[in-house]
Amino acid sequence: MISLASLALATIAFVGSHLAMSHPLRLRLVQNLGDRYFLIVYSAVSFVTLGWMILAYRAVKSSLPLWIAPDWWWPIASAIMLLASILLVGSFVRNPAFPHPGAERQAVRPATGVFAITRHPMNWSIILWALVHISVWGSPRNLIVAFGMLILAFAGSIGQDRKKLSVMGESWRGWMQRTSFVPFGALIRRKVPMRSTAPGWMPLAGGFAFWLGVTWWHAPSASLAALLPG
């Protein structure tokens, strides 16, 4: 119980500090520290709290999970993780949410690739990761970390929209109108054509490579077949 409590505290510290420094405290910290030292402090706090969470996770003894997904669900879960991997890699390509000089120009272009699927591809990759891990293995330590990351990704998406609206104004407002928070929402509402949701070769290749590596690492027998039923 002590180990689980430590893991819960570490997860709260990581998620809470990340959200606080990214949104309500960011402006004040940047004003007091400057961009360079804020980044140093932000990185240091994130590194320490994430390290604490990893160590606390490892300290929790393995226990019987509250549930284990049935065999038929594992291939579906793996396919969802492939989508999450494509979203993650695609989020690094021309992302208007990233703090770089050309960000505002990226926000006025038509939404294509993973951004035609969702304007928060990185956060949705984390959301899908969390939901899949919650669904397949209901161990206490897994649930604590997965729910923590789920909260971080959802709240981070909401906070990012608010922050970008205040910084980029109409450029981001227009980006929000042309995209959707929920994956494929813009497609369903006919804001983007089907062809615009094609991720492109880089997210597809990079996402598949990432998914393949993680799948291999997860498989108990170091084989892709270990994730398949039968």
Whether 13 and 106 share a structural domain: no
Domain boundary among 61, 92, 112: 61
Whether 191 and 81 share a structural domain: yes
Q: Could you give the number of structural domains in the chain?
A: 2
Reference 7, options 148, 152, 155; nearest CA is: 148
Q: What pTM did the predictor assign?
A: 0.89
Whether 12 and 120 share a structural domain: no
Give the pLDDT confidence of 60-86 residue by residue, as tens digits: 987 788 899 998 999 999 999 999 999
Whether 21 and 112 share a structural domain: no
Supply the range of the domain harboring residue 204: 67-227
When pLDDT is cut at 50, 70 and 90, the band that residue 1 belongs to is low
Contact call for residues 159 and 18 (beta carbons, < 8 A): no
Q: How far is it, in rounded angstroms, from Cα 73 to Cα 59?
A: 29
Give the pLDDT confidence of 114-147 residue by residue, as tens digits: 999 999 999 999 999 999 999 998 999 999 999 9
Q: How far is it, in rounded angstroms, from Cα 10 to Cα 16?
A: 10
H helices within 60-139, ranges in order? Answer: 73-90, 103-107, 114-117, 121-136
Pseudo-torsion of CA 169, 174, 175, 178, nearest 10°? 160
